[in-house]
Amino acid sequence: MKIAITGGTGFVGKELTRLFHSSGHMVYILTRSPKRSTANTKYVQWLKNGAQPEKQLEGVDAIINLAGTSINDGRWTKEQKRAIYDSRMEATEEVLRIIGKLTKKPRVLINASAIGVYAPSDVVTYTEASRDFGKDFLARTVIDWEKLADHAKHHGVRVAYGRFGIVLGKKEGALPLMSLPYKLFVGGTVGSGKQWLSWIHVKDVARAIQFAMENEAIEGPFNVTAPQPKQMKDFGLGIAEVLHKPHWLPVPSFAMKALLGEKSQLVLTGQRVLPTVLEREGFQFQYPDLKSALADIYK
């Protein structure tokens, strides 16, 4: 297959590219700064004046849209929140424009999304059928992002949006920052410890995206989370066990709010989210439990 990826040089994009290469697919990476193309990867310039990526993307079978400013970079100032929101809208609008220009439309658009769309709760369990959405900045961003991506349906393209949980990897994503206190022997429960972390290994993220791309029954939202979410305290204990470090020094909520401001909601609140659609369609997780995921990451 010929597959176009936006955000292909990011954390999930790199893992996805490796998976597609191992499956024999040709990958087109849309980027502002193209590199020299290889036998199985072609870099295509986009989001720059004069760029016409559609001329190089005729005949692509699928588009994976992962582009957007990271929510993990810096405090959520007014400017940073605008960048987080606008980057996602701009990239998705450009994907829609490209699809409109293509003579042969791709069969599917897999658009990134996030479980932050669901309202924070320590007691509710969410599936794709849940409609109890949050009202905070992140939820509003996700809702608008999914609505925009849905416009690809007007071109006869199947649209599925993967609501990512906390993606775990050794050098990128949230885990390096979460594990750092344990490596310094000062790890402990953050906030109440009751907040849910719906996590997933980055390798399973890539496999889930490929699975959704190839499975025509998956349309609309699908939760990209492992089937065994953990509460914060148990998540921390899992890190401590794998790293053979103590879990003893609690981090109160007020300290996180002082350090991170509004962004502290990423660690002080959470959602218990289950991957109902993926499991219904027969997806098999390589790392279904936290212990196996952390063991692989830190092996």
Segment 123-174, tens digit of pLDDT: 999 999 999 999 999 999 999 999 999 999 999 999 999 999 999 999 888 8
In the chain, the number of structural domains is: 1
Q: Residue 33 pLDDT > 90, yes or no?
A: no
pLDDT at residue number 253: 83
Q: What angle do CA 289, 145, 50 make, to 5 degrees?
A: 120
Most distant CA pair in the chain: distance in Å? 60
> Which of 158-162, 259-263, 285-289 is least confident?
259-263
pLDDT at residue number 285: 98
Cα 12 from Cα 66, distance rounded (Å):
8
Closest CA to 270 of 166, 196, 198, 175: 196
- What mean pLDDT is predicted for residues 97-120? 97
> Which of 35-49, 50-64, 285-299 is least confident?
35-49
pLDDT at residue number 68: 92
Q: Residue 53 pLDDT > 80, yes or no?
A: yes
CATH of the domain at 133: 3.40.50.720
Predicted confidence band of residue 66 (pLDDT cuts 50, 70, 90): very high
Predicted confidence band of residue 195 (pLDDT cuts 50, 70, 90): very high
pLDDT at residue number 178: 86
Q: What is the DSSP letter of 262?
A: G
Task: Provide the H-helix boundaries in 103-201.
Answer: 137-149, 175-183
Q: Residue 264 pLDDT > 80, yes or no?
A: no
**Is residue 123 exposed (0-12), middle (13-18) or buried (19+ Cβ within 10 Å)?**
exposed
Domain containing 31 equals: 2-297
Tell me the whole-structure pTM to 2 decimals: 0.93
pLDDT at residue number 74: 75
Helix, strand and coil in the chain, % to nearest 5: 40, 20, 40
pLDDT at residue number 63: 98
pLDDT at residue number 238: 95
- What mean pLDDT is predicted for residues 289-297? 96
pLDDT at residue number 187: 87
Contact 2, 25 (CB under 8 A): yes
Q: Which residue has the tokens 């063991």?
A: 295
Q: What angle do CA 12, 235, 70 make, to 5 degrees?
A: 30
Closest CA to 164 of 140, 132, 142: 142
